[in-house]
Amino acid sequence: MTAAARFEAALDALAQRHRLRRLEPRAGLDFASNDYLGLAGSALLTEAAREALAQGVPPGAGGSRLLRGNHPEHEALEAEAAGFFGAEAALFMGGGFQANQAIFATLPAAGDLILHDALVHASAIEGMRLGRAAARAFRHNDVDGAKQVLADWRKAGGRGQVWIAVESVYSMEGDLAPLDDLAQLAHEAEAVLVVDEAHATGVFGPEGRGLAHGLKAELLTLHTCGKGLGVSGGLICGPRAMIDMLIARARPFIFATAPSPLTAAVLRAALRALQELPELLRDAHRRMAHAHAEARNSCGLEGLQSPIIPVIIGADDATMARARDLQERGFDVRGIRPPTVPRGTSRLRVSITGNVGAADITALFATIAAQRAEAV
């Protein structure tokens, strides 16, 4: 069997299990992206790009930041982001996945412990696999469980630096981390609290600064730029010594071509918009509140906390069938299957974006409710 034939057989097996992933075109109302403020295709950011190009900001960097790829727009963005997010320094990288890899592969040392929520992003797990520190998971949002895992590690002789890794808003569950309790644990354990703000940036906190803003802990935050901010890339914010160590030693930073200076310029405009246009955040929360009410009233979904609303179906085939049905009716909702979510919890991941209105949201949840009734 040739290598290509082996892959064809593996792809066929995935298709039989309803787990084959394919690229699909955009179609219908946007309930699938992470464009929570509707900035990605906005006139505001389009005009910012035009202005930057007119001023000579280049689309490409031409090399890594440590060679000739460093541009004044990168440095201006980092300075403004550090100020906005309340950190000593910031580092702009090409994507959130790359940035998470860099953090966990570089900063925790041999003998350290990374104590992480069981549902942290795959990018953080990949970084841990590449790094030298021990990694231990605790049950999702279970601070007492985290304390027990830490105590067991100490009892077994662990004496290194502790890093506590969580998301502020979880990407598939849509729930919020108990950050105050985690910050207290970090203080007691003299740990660094690493908070992935991917789905909070632009949506939560004062002027969209995130849920970790103002926490009393030694803090490192990741603000991905392709969700609420509407562009792309990732901003790591924290103590200057940590940022400088990433510049000096993080392989995903050192060996990657620098992000586009044009992207950095557009991101600066997105950060200004959060500060100058309070209606962006206000409207996002109005859409969220309306969606939560409709999901509760139509589908019985309770305890919703964010723009991410999981509708658990269970079986992979049923999940994908319902997603296709919604798409055919004009709602772009995607089905999420293992390994992205635990086995038996395949779901519709409804995302309340800035590209839909109240009537669209009401119609979507009425349709999901009708699907459920038909399936009984």
Q: Are 24 and 335 in contact (CB under 8 A)?
A: no
**Chain position carrying tokens 């995302």:** 351
Q: For Cα atoms 222, 228, 230, give the angle at the middle one, nearest 5 degrees.
A: 105
For residue 80, count other CB atoms closer than 10 A to its CB. Answer: 17
Q: Are 176 and 212 in contact (CB under 8 A)?
A: no
Residue 233 region by backbone torsions, left for phi larger than 0, else alpha for psi between -120 and 50, else beta: left
Neighbouring C-alpha atoms within 13 Å toward the C-beta of 172: 20
Active site residues: 34, 121, 167, 171, 196, 199, 227
Question: Alpha-carbon distance 161 to 147, whole Å?
Answer: 15
Q: What is the largest CA-CA distance in the chain?
A: 62
| Residue 131 one-letter amino acid | G
Contacts of 277 (CB under 8 A, 6+ apart): none
**Chain position carrying tokens 């991917």:** 198
Question: Alpha-carbon distance 133 to 112, whole Å?
Answer: 5
Contacts of 375 (CB under 8 A, 6+ apart): 318
